[in-house]
Amino acid sequence: MLERIWSGWRAAYVGGEHSTGQEPGSPFTQLLRSGESDEATHIVHRGAHVFAIMNLFPYSTGHLLVVPYREVPDLSDLDADETTELWATVTDGVAAVRAAYSPQGLNVGLNLGRPAGGSIPSHLHAHVVPRWTGDSNFMSSVANTQTLPEALDASAARIRAAWTSGTGSRKARATTRP
């Protein structure tokens, strides 16, 4: 049986109603230029070329995005250093989400271009989405509501702590191997 992840509640966001259209740059670029703290913006990790941030419109609790600082629409637009760090940070993000939430599974991917589901097509970003059996329920289809059992601030703090403790880092895992 084919199962679907349906998030109709995101229609306004995907349709572009989240922005006034007056600010220059993507929402990620605007956020980086805001001068707000990482705690206020829900950034959980910063690297040299990419950063990781909690998704403001998550599919599930702990939904993380890995985003290059440079605003580019496609993987082919990244330079070698950005590409390397993007995938290394996705790997670290998966480890941090696993450490923080112990999900039964994960979705990891990119939506390149609006027809592919990209809600911010000008600024590529990789999704790390923790999943549990039955994490979608009747509330989504009947009440047009998604229930998330944790506030975004708390999710960011959990993932940030997992990342900083080394449980979400390739380096920490590499030093513990025989």
The DSSP code sequence of 25-84 is S-HHHHHHHT---HHHHTEEEE-SSEEEEE-SS-SSTT-EEEEESS--SSGGGS-HHHHH
Look at residue 62 and tell me if it is in a domain.
yes
The verdict on residue 40 lying in a domain is: yes
pLDDT at site 170: 53
**pLDDT of the residue at 57:** 86
| β-pair type (43-46, 126-131) | unpaired
| 49 noted as active-site residue | no
Residue 49, pLDDT > 80, answer yes
Tell the residue number behind the tokens 């960011």, with chain if given.
156
Residue 96 has pLDDT above 90, yes or no: yes
Q: Where in the sequence is the domain holding 81, given as residue range(s)? A: 25-135+148-172
Q: Is residue 6 part of a domain?
A: no
90 belongs to a structural domain: yes
Asked whether residue 143 is assigned to any structural domain, the reply reads no
The band of 119, judged by pLDDT with boundaries at 50, 70 and 90, is confident
| Reported confidence tier of residue 22, pLDDT bands at 50, 70, 90 | low
Between 49-58, 121-130, 161-170, the lowest mean confidence (pLDDT) is in 161-170
Say yes or no to pLDDT of 44 above 90.
yes
Classify residue 11: in a domain, yes or no: no
Examine the pLDDT at 20 and tell me if it is beyond 50.
Answer: no
pLDDT on residue 141: 42
Q: State the catalytic residue, choosing from 45, 49, 125, 127.
A: 125
Q: What was the pLDDT predicted at 151? A: 83
The backbone torsions φ and ψ at residue 8, rounded to the nearest 5 degrees and listed phi first, read -60, -25
pTM of the entire predicted model: 0.76
Residue 20 is assigned to a structural domain of this protein? no
In a domain, residue 163? The reply is: yes
For the chain, give the mean pLDDT: 80
**For the chain, how many structural domains are there in total?**
1
Q: What is the CATH number of the domain that holds 115?
A: 3.30.428.10
